[in-house]
């Protein structure tokens, strides 16, 4: 755990340094679960496996998704809690206590996978020395709705900071208490939710480094139309946030989005020099370039500009300043490539 006052950024930078100047994130968890036979056609999405098939996530076998990513060279694996919420489990008939236990289980499974990996490689020469971290995944309110609104940011009457804080509060507390190394606020679609997260981190006194990742469909703003620069500034000003970036966005947009995030650091450089604002590491983990159709509940090929080979972008993103790189939806250890290329 870390303290306030920029401690989260310090912790992330230390991990980056220990990783040789970069950290590699895992790829699409649900994509790999489905490839290994999981049926995720459910509002819980990848969290459904916490109920029906946790062995696919952790068991020491060819079907172990967390272990697959660690074997491929990932430094960070994310828990199967992106779409897991107390409210979602309760809608399935579970009690509040059972729902909270399932959230805890998602982090425990990832921690167990790390332990299995390290034990299996304990006798190799040289021993595994790279950082291996567990991130507790927290999806947006739109992810809970499972109606595609995580790709629009349109929450209607629910679009207030106080409502979103009430929705996420207990989930954040439970996941933090489960013992992850990081808290990953993912696919943030609007400025309101970013503000809600910042306030919750302070109010709940969360002393585990967090990252904020936003998503974009035009390469300029985040999906709600809110300014990426404004959203990144909200995250940048919070001492409990250790990294800021982009996820679940077509690879072709990442270059420009990284430059936009860097503008925040440039614009706030004076405050940074006098110790008032942090200059967060940048993380990016794009999707495969496909587009999610919220009505059909499936991924469809994008039209127009091709995304080409995912791997070809990696060196560019590193030159742009990204220090944490991985993949999101529809990416796998075999298709993303950053594990060997970084």
Give binding residues as ranges. Answer: 248, 328-329
Question: Annotated binding site for Zn(2+): which residue ranges?
Answer: 248, 328-329
Helix (H, G, I), strand (E, B) or coil at 108: helix
Residue 203, Cβ density class (10 Å: 0-12 exposed, 13-18 middle, ≥19 buried): exposed
Contact 38, 49 (CB under 8 A): yes
- What CA–CA distance (Å, rounded) separates 298 from 275? 46
- What CA–CA distance (Å, rounded) separates 138 from 39? 21
- What CA–CA distance (Å, rounded) separates 13 from 31? 29
Report CA 49 to chain centroid distance, whole Å. Answer: 18
Contact 26, 329 (CB under 8 A): no
Helix (H, G, I), strand (E, B) or coil at 59: coil
Encoded tokens for 53: 């098939």
For residues 240, 283, 270, 277, the Cα torsion angle rounded to the nearest 10 degrees is: 0
Within 8 A by CB and 6+ apart from 95, the residues are none
DSSP state of 199: H
Write down the H helix ranges in 178-300: 191-203, 228-236, 254-267, 269-273
Helix (H, G, I), strand (E, B) or coil at 318: helix
Within 8 A by CB and 6+ apart from 194, the residues are 185, 188, 212, 214, 231, 234, 235
């Amino acid at each position: 755990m870390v303290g306030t006052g920029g401690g989260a950024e310090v912790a992330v930078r230390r991990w980056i340094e220990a990783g040789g100047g970069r950290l590699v994130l895992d790829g699409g968890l649900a994509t790999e679960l489905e490839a290994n036979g999981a049926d995720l056609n459910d509002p819980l999405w990848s969290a459904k496996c916490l109920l029906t098939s946790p062995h696919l996530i952790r068991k020491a076998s060819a079907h172990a998704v967390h272990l697959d990513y660690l074997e491929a060279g990932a430094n960070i694996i994310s828990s199967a809690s992106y779409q897991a919420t107390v409210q979602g489990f309760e809608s399935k008939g579970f009690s509040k206590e059972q729902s909270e236990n399932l959230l805890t289980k998602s982090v425990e499974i990832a921690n167990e996978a790390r332990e299995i990996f390290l034990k299996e490689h304990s006798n190799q020469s040289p021993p595994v020395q790279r950082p291996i971290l567990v991130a507790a995944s927290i999806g947006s309110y739109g992810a809970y709705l499972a109606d595609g609104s995580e790709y629009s940011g349109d929450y209607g009457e629910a679009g207030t900071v106080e409502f979103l804080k009430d929705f996420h509060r207990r989930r954040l507390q439970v996941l933090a208490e489960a013992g992850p190394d990081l808290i990953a606020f993912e696919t943030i679609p609007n400025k309101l939710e970013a503000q809600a997260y910042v306030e919750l981190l302070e109010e709940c006194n969360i002393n585990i480094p967090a990252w904020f990742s936003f998503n974009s469909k035009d390469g300029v703003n985040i999906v709600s139309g809110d300014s990426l620069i404004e959203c990144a500034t909200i995250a940048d000003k919070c001492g409990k946030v250790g990294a800021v970036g982009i996820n679940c966005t077509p690879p072709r947009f990442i270059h420009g989005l990284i430059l936009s995030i860097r503008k925040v650091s440039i614009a706030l450089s004076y405050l940074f020099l006098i110790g008032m604002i942090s200059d967060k590491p940048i993380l990016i983990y794009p999707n495969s370039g496909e587009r999610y159709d919220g009505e059909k509940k499936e991924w469809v090929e994008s039209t127009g500009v091709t995304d080409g080979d995912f791997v070809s972008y990696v060196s560019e993103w590193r030159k742009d300043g990204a220090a944490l790189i991985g993949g999101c939806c529809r990416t796998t250890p075999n298709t993303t490539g950053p594990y060997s290329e970084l």
